[in-house]
Structure 1
């Protein structure tokens, strides 16, 4: 865990270094801990067992999330050990879907200071504020301005729960050292009346700042961060559509950064399509895909699918012709008359617009529908049945999260399609037994890919993170899906293998970065060992 000179209660109260009850007799004597702890030392395994017992005693996921937050603040090593050993049970508590409720109530729950809060009022002073941080070195930053938190909208500084949770996943899933990570919230105000009128809201109470002032603030943030930590990786998270595409375009070739909502989501969804092609014994270039939603996630996914179709042999033009977007105004077409946002333009079709999603399905006859709309229940029984009439194995991806925003449930998808569907979800659903067969619908969770992408980019010291990185990660994850997984309807591997997956994603990204001149390191003699040696494991030293 690195050297420190803390002793006594100061050590026990430092969550980064404390081992809690796990100090040996010798350590207790040397570190002035005698009498400050119960007399019999525990092992980390005993501590995990005791904490899991407590965790399971709580009734609701929200209560469990608060318990875990307290555990992390008192003993970070134990927190990550517990998360790693019980990842399928604990991950939904640390991140989606439970993090949504935690964020909505964040100002009312604040107990433990974590990360960096930068306000637009701090403009001109960002570099000095960075000096207040305890970390000397930072490898990974997740930053949000709180404008579009999950499917919940503008939460202002309450969105800080997202960078905190996301970075916990980088550590648990890929071994990014938690002491070298930094969650950041940029407070530029909020347009949500509930928070502006909430006496306990902890952010500045003014409408969101945009335009040049906003752009200058972001520029100062990037310049200050990269002046202090020139080799760190920055991940954009949950920015609104009005900023997300612009910021990615502006910074992606200047710094080592990426947007997980646009690019990470794309990678994991494309991975699900690669698995679905194995199940169908087909090629991606044969698919015709209709998206419900046309924001960051949908257009990011559509763009990467086009790249994968080109890799499969299609021209870019032919690939784009197979991808359709459906937004709040209907099918995205050139004939619609409204001014289309730049990110939708490549997918606009020169056909009559259709206002009803089911009618669009019957008109276009897609092989797959992908829900990234945050519209609960949007995939109705008649929609899933229409897809099943058109296709022998319809692909239905209901990817909005949290669970309350899912386009349909796993049970609905399997029942309405008579078990024929190839299904993926954005929030966790339990296995479904239909007509005697049990289906295991695995979540198309970005945590299969982004932790390994981050680790690979950190270790290769990438100059930038290119589109090829996201295709590489998609292939790597899909290659880990077994025939047994596919037989149970799972388009993703078990999340219990996430460290193994992240390791391989990172290895492949380092190889790619070395081959394309994006790496700023000498090629390691053994890349697999290099990655293993640089992965944090939650053990006491």
Structure 2
């Protein structure tokens, strides 16, 4: 039976008693245990005499939360609440989602990852290293749950902060928290994992408190020995699991996805999730700006795995709307730290080569120098949208923004890098430089900006709009794979949700407090596409899909606890 057995949606039974029960976060109700439960589960005397409701506990938790003096302290408090009482933690997240989202996830989670070894309190998730690859089956057996969703990272490229070693598991924990709080995924079926491949961060190697392996990152042979062993063990124990790759460096992100995407149901959120939410936002912005998406030109600043994933997703969407692939590719302009990506560059990865423009384009433009810089690209290509995923603050300069506004009446400006300090531009600057013309979306949260009489609400184009719904749809449909069509369906659904009635200054995306509703609609769209693609045997009717979603949907409510 394991830790507990659900008799139905309101009753569970468990064999654990006393302090052991109070230390089990998925079973602990703290002061909400009833008098009868306290007697039968040997809790008498271990709790204060007052029996509280969940709302009583939430009110006390809010008071304590408000007393924390920094965002990092608020993050640590929420993590301690999660480690003590998981149900209450998720109820708190849902009740205060808009205000706590930046605390439990980006941007504060970046600081928490940097200080992971310092703020570490209780174990959560699995830490797998090369020297233990022969024991991975036993490690997975140490996790008794029926795992349905895994988020795995190797910590090499955390947000825009770089190599944080095992501290990257904070991202996995944060993502899974949102799978549950927004997507309704049962937390008992989720598992955060970090692959401890070492670190090249000298500060961590020199830090006496660092909890990971103190050696430089593994060479390629040993690295893939470890990932192969991990994937093989996961397939043996949980062959139908949904596995999300998170924050892997450019050298491994695309190769890992290509290596394993046909072996189990997996996706890379930085490549595919970011691409999907960006596409959804651009589709919404195109309608606002009255620009046919098929004809849109887009500049992407940052030619790594995330930027290239966005480009390929936009190209696929354009082709689906009737464009030829050649024309769609010609409308995408990738810019790296040296300028426009050209096909004569010797150091391009294959996925970058497919997006490179011929070197002759700069001669056609009459630009000086072999590589056109960002301003020259904007002057000559006249993109309708500019997307930043390079983590270089300030690269969207005043000159670039003014040129965008000169080219188009409503330029689409998307500085998406996280955390906030890594954003390519600040929305207030962008709107001032464009005289309020720009349609702006960012990766991190920003306050509204008032230009003249119009208040501009800044959309947060964050994967949070996408991955919880993808997870819910995949699990409800019992999909065996995640197809590009399913990701496109998620983006299209997001754009349709976003484009109801709107006024000048309105956000390009739905408000954060509607994320659960958005995720539900995306889950339906993803499930339908999984069925159409042949990756699910679920009946395709709306009623069958809704029933499948409701059957697995988890809500943070206390259940009556019985002794087994």
State the TM-score, normalized to the length of structure 2: 0.93
Structure 2 unmatched ranges of 5 or more = 1-5, 7-11, 363-369, 560-564
Residue 503 of structure 1 contacts residue 532 of structure 1 at CA under 8 Å; is this kept in 2? no
Q: C-alpha distance in 1, partners of 2:502/2:68?
A: 32
Runs of 4+ in 1 over 4 A off after TM superposition: 520-525
Q: Does 1:193 align with 2:224?
A: no
Alignment match, 1:447: 464
Alignment match, 2:107: 97
Q: C-alpha distance in 2, partners of 1:3/1:522?
A: 33
Residues 523 and 284 from structure 1, CA distance in 2 versus in 1: closer, same or farther, beyond 3 angstroms?
Answer: closer
Q: C-alpha distance in 1, partners of 2:226/2:125?
A: 18
Q: C-alpha distance in 2, partners of 1:141/1:445?
A: 20
Shift of 1:282: 2.2
Q: C-alpha distance in 2, partners of 1:3/1:227?
A: 29
Q: C-alpha distance in 2, partners of 1:34/1:271?
A: 53
Q: C-alpha distance in 1, partners of 2:143/2:283?
A: 43
| Deviation string, structure 1 residues 17-46 (Cα, Å, up to 9, x no partner) | 111111222222332323332222111112
| Deviation string, structure 1 residues 472-492 (Cα, Å, up to 9, x no partner) | 001111121254555433111
SS of the residue corresponding to residue 47 of structure 2 reads coil
Shift of 1:528: 1.2
Alignment match, 1:268: 277
Residue 473 of structure 2 contacts residue 522 of structure 2 at CA under 8 Å; is this kept in 1? yes
SS of the residue corresponding to residue 124 of structure 1 reads helix
How many equivalent residue pairs?
A: 539
SS of the residue corresponding to residue 291 of structure 1 reads strand
1:418 corresponds to which of 429, 435, 453:
435
Give the alignment's Cα RMSD to 1 decimal: 1.5
SS of the residue corresponding to residue 191 of structure 2 reads strand
| Deviation string, structure 1 residues 292-340 (Cα, Å, up to 9, x no partner) | 11011111111000011111110111101100100012110124x4331
Alignment match, 2:40: 30
Residue 485 of structure 1 contacts residue 493 of structure 1 at CA under 8 Å; is this kept in 2? no
Shift of 1:216: 1.8
Alignment match, 1:363: 380
Q: C-alpha distance in 1, partners of 2:240/2:143?
A: 17
Residue 539 of structure 2 contacts residue 545 of structure 2 at CA under 8 Å; is this kept in 1? no
Residue 185 of structure 2 contacts residue 472 of structure 2 at CA under 8 Å; is this kept in 1? yes
Alignment match, 2:365: none
Alignment match, 1:155: 164
Q: C-alpha distance in 2, partners of 1:4/1:487?
A: 55
Alignment match, 2:142: 132
1:516 corresponds to which of 533, 556, 559:
533
Q: Does 1:533 align with 2:543?
A: no
Shift of 1:6: 2.4
Alignment match, 1:433: 450
- Once the two structures are superposed, the pairs formed by residues 2-13 of structure 1 within 5 Å of their partners are 2-13=12-23
Residue 143 of structure 1 contacts residue 235 of structure 1 at CA under 8 Å; is this kept in 2? yes
Q: Does 1:239 align with 2:248?
A: yes
| Deviation string, structure 1 residues 45-99 (Cα, Å, up to 9, x no partner) | 1211211121122121111000101111111000000001111111111111000
| Deviation string, structure 1 residues 482-511 (Cα, Å, up to 9, x no partner) | 545554331111111111111111112211
State the TM-score, normalized to the length of structure 1: 0.97
Q: C-alpha distance in 2, partners of 1:310/1:79?
A: 44
Q: C-alpha distance in 2, partners of 1:221/1:36?
A: 41
2:63 corresponds to which of 13, 36, 53:
53
